[in-house]
Amino acid sequence: METKKPVILSGITPSNKLMIGHYIGAIRNWVALQNEYECFFMVADLHAITVRQNPAELRRHTLDIAAGYIACGIDPEKCVLFIQSHVPEHTQLTWALTCFTGMGEASKMTQYKDKSQKNSESNNVGIFAYPILMAADILVYQADLVPVGDDQKQHLELTRNLAERFNFHYSPTFTVPEPFIPPTGARIMSLQDPMKKMSKSDENEKATLFLDDSDDAIRSKIKRAVTDSGTDIRFDEKNRPGLSNLMTLYHTATGRTFAEIEKEFIGLGYGEFKEAVGEAMVGLMRPIRERFIELRSDPTMLHDLLAKGAFISHITPCTNILC
């Protein structure tokens, strides 16, 4: 008898293009997971509309994310790749779970507090309720494991609570998911402000390495990256965050340990080091960019592939819960 593979679900919001932080922190791990697990990888377009979107840009970014997944190594023959809004069970289950969610537990979500305070003018019910949509994303696929970072642990706990509550009041319907902490997944910081995480939404484009950046753009952004006082190349995240961030990028691209990098650049300055980091990142990102451009040149193929993924998602075992 064939053993059922554990199910993993994850996705990225198409609020902009994919960046190197997505690849290093998430997608690179997904590529390995698809060989061992039953993986569902979505483009989370419904989560994007908690912020007012230009429809044409959202459609373009949605295809960009899907093409980026494949360019990074996600194989649609090994996993299910789909657009969230193309599977209506996500929103259907969201409503049912909303009716099981207390106002108190929803309002204490840290990200809701942060976003509502930072964007009081654009605060909306969607921002308040999107952790419930996230719970529906997970539960509708009976996901056993969910890759999560520190900023998503609270949302996964809400998901677990809702699954247990539903199971208690009705029947053992939902798998209660566990967090999956990837073995690797370095935190990549902004090139212009190494005290904050690199963001695809940063207003300063020099702060972010996008996966479709040209070779010259990559070199230029690395060259202009903020570093710290000092002259030696030494990893120290607390006291030298800018340099340490560049060392993390170099480590990712070359596989060298931080000790080996420090030894490699003894007696050399920031100029030589940044040049080496730039070339290493070009070597890492160029094949991804070239594959991405190839995929984006054939939107019909992408639409067909995503339609197939949506159909498979639609017939998964848990989509008849509300019938």
| β-strand partners of 145 | 8, 178
Instruction: Label residues 263-289 b or e (16+ Cβ within 10 Å = b).
Output: eebeeeebeebbebbbbbbbebbeebb
Q: What gap in Å lies between CA 260 and CA 262, rounded to an integer?
A: 5
Look at the block and give the residue holding tokens 């207390």.
Answer: 102
Q: Are 223 and 215 in contact (CB under 8 A)?
A: no
Residue 197 among the catalytic residues: yes
Q: Are 184 and 177 in contact (CB under 8 A)?
A: no
174 three-state secondary structure: coil
- Catalytic member of 17, 115, 221, 274: 115
Look at the block and give the residue holding tokens 């212009």.
Answer: 192
Residue 200 among the catalytic residues: yes
Q: What gap in Å lies between CA 321 and CA 188, rounded to an integer?
A: 40
Q: What gap in Å lies between CA 158 and CA 109, rounded to an integer?
A: 9
Q: The tokens of 224 are what?
A: 């202009």
- Catalytic member of 78, 200, 206, 308: 200
Q: Are 290 and 320 in contact (CB under 8 A)?
A: no
Secondary element (H or E) of residue 83: strand 80-83
State which amino acid sits at residue 78: K
Q: Do the bridges between strand 80-83 and strand 145-147 make them parallel or antiparallel, or are there none, so unpaired?
A: unpaired
Residue 115 among the catalytic residues: yes
Angle between helices 125-139 and 153-169 (to 10 degrees): 70
- Catalytic member of 197, 206, 223, 308: 197
Q: Do the bridges between strand 178-180 and strand 145-147 make them parallel or antiparallel, or are there none, so unpaired?
A: parallel
Q: Which residues are catalytic?
A: 115, 197, 200
